[in-house]
């Protein structure tokens, strides 16, 4: 048995399930789930039609690199969205969703034979970053987010000696769970560190198309071009799951440094990660259409506009830059600001499930940057999200914490 498996932590949802095993939700209220970030808007008809009309593709083995038409569709979308030109043949690689690709990429670029190999990631974070690092034989270094700086990661806390051992940096912008978008100056700092120490940067951008400002979120490849750089040691990961409401399609892409993608393609050839022809056809249809993305964004904006002010009456919470999460602080007067205790109280008394922020982060030097906050995934219909918000407000007020 691989001994590195013993280093993996239970997933946040498993930990919450164990903590809540004695909790009996209020049977007088129907359950509303805001815990799991699974898109629930309708799948676009054009995707369903593409699947049905290309079922003949099930009879053939797919190429790991994907069909030229799919790589071209991805490159076309990147050009329209970010104003960045890509070579479809060398700078784009289809993947089976960003989760699988983020994990596999670490296995490709980490050299565990180098003493003290490090992977740096934000804290709180998407747990795949940690698992990928651990199973690649690397140490994980967690960089806390700073609420006073719009939840930006405090990269200054990483000593230069650690950067010197770093082989991979995971960046998530827009962030999960905070929704923060990295500005150009922050990218400039990370690029300078990568140039100095030679580590790769993996930019997770799966929430890029759900945003609330006039300007869409800056992407990593876009930032590189704006700073007059090429894509050396830089790759960006994007998924159709959130953008197009197709989490079950398992489709996305990675783009950037051609040398890294060449090595990644070699790994994936042996890993067995080819995207089926039916999924490729559906993906081409999705990347080629923006109307459904605009409508999807409108629905999220409607929900956040309805929910955020309600919760702000009793909690420290604000509209994020992007994504479909609210990152709300538990009132200190309620359960001492304990995010787990509050989540269990909310489930028991009001049958609303949320994810405690402390389960999304690791404690470092006595600090867990997720402690005292909850993540609310506003993926349910607007009416359900509004009702959940009203129950949360009632919960806080009933406890005399507002």
Q: What dotted CATH number matches 3-42+292-398?
A: 3.90.1150.10
How confident is the model over 77-96, as pLDDT tens digits? Answer: 999 999 999 999 999 999 99
Q: CA-CA distance, 47 to 318, in Å (whole number)? A: 34
Report how far apart, in Å, the C-alpha atoms of 190 and of each of 70, 82, 153, 223, 234 are.
31, 20, 11, 11, 11
Angstrom distances, CA of residue 185 to CA of 204, 224, 257: 18, 11, 21
pTM confidence score: 0.96
- Alpha carbon distances (Å) from 182 to 114, 139, 239: 30, 24, 19
What would the mean pLDDT of 353-378 be, rounded to a whole number?
Answer: 97
pLDDT at position 233:
98
pLDDT at 402 over 70: no
Tokens 């039609």 label which residue?
A: 49
The edge-to-edge listing of strands for the beta sheet with 325-329 is 325-329, 373-377, 355-356
Alpha-carbon distance of 189 to 368, in angstroms, equals: 25
The domain made up of 45-289 has a fold known as: 3.40.640
Q: Give 99-154 pLDDT, tens digit per residue.
A: 999 999 999 999 988 889 999 999 999 999 999 999 999 999 999 999 998 999 99
Is the fold of 3-42+292-398 the same as that of 45-289? no
Q: How far apart are CA 56 and CA 59, in angstroms?
A: 6
The residue extents of the domains of the chain are: 3-42+292-398, 45-289
Dump pLDDT digits (tens) for 277-303.
999 999 999 999 999 999 999 999 999
The DSSP secondary-structure symbol of 211 reads B
């Amino acid at each position: 048995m691989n001994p590195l498996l013993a280093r993996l932590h239970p997933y946040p949802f498993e930990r919450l399930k164990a903590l809540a095993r004695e909790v009996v939700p209020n049977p007088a209220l129907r359950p509303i789930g805001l815990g799991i970030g699974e898109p629930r808007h309708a799948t676009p008809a054009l995707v369903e039609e593409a699947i049905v009309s290309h079922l003949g593709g099930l009879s053939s083995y797919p190429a790991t690199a994907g069909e030229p038409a799919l790589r071209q569709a991805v490159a076309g979308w990147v050009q329209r969205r970010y104003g960045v030109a890509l070579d479809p043949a060398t700078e784009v690689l289809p993947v089976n969703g960003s989760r699988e690709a983020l994990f596999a990429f670490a296995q490709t670029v980490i050299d565990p034979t180098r003493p003290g190999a490090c992977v740096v990631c934000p804290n709180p974070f998407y747990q795949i970053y940690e698992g990928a690092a651990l199973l690649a034989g690397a140490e994980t270094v967690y960089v806390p987010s700073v609420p006073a700086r719009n939840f930006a990661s405090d990269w200054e806390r990483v000593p230069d000696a650690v950067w010197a051992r770093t082989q991979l940096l995971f960046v998530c912008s827009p962030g999960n769970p905070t929704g923060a978008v990295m500005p150009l100056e922050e990218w400039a700092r990370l690029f300078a560190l990568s140039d100095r120490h030679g580590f790769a940067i993996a930019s997770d951008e799966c929430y890029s198309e759900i945003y609330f400002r006039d300007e869409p979120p800056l992407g990593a490849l876009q930032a590189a071009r704006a700073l007059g750089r090429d894509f050396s040691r830089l790759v960006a990961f994007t998924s159709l799951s959130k953008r197009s409401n197709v989490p079950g399609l398992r489709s996305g892409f990675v783009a950037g440094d051609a040398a890294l993608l060449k090595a990644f393609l070699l790994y994936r050839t042996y890993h067995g990660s080819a995207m089926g022809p039916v999924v490729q056809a559906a993906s081409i249809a999705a990347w080629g259409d923006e109307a459904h993305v605009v409508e999807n964004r409108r629905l999220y904006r409607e929900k956040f506009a309805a929910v955020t002010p309600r919760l702000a009456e009793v909690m420290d919470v604000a509209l994020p830059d992007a994504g479909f999460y609210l990152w709300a602080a538990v009132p200190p007067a309620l359960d001492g600001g304990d995010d787990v205790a509050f989540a269990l109280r909310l489930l028991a008394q009001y049958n609303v499930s949320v994810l405690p922020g402390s389960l999304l982060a690791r404690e470092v030097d006595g600090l867990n940057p997720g402690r005292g906050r909850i993540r609310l995934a506003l993926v349910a219909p607007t009416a359900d999200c509004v009702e959940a918000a009203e129950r949360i407000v009632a919960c806080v007020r009933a406890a005399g914490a507002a």
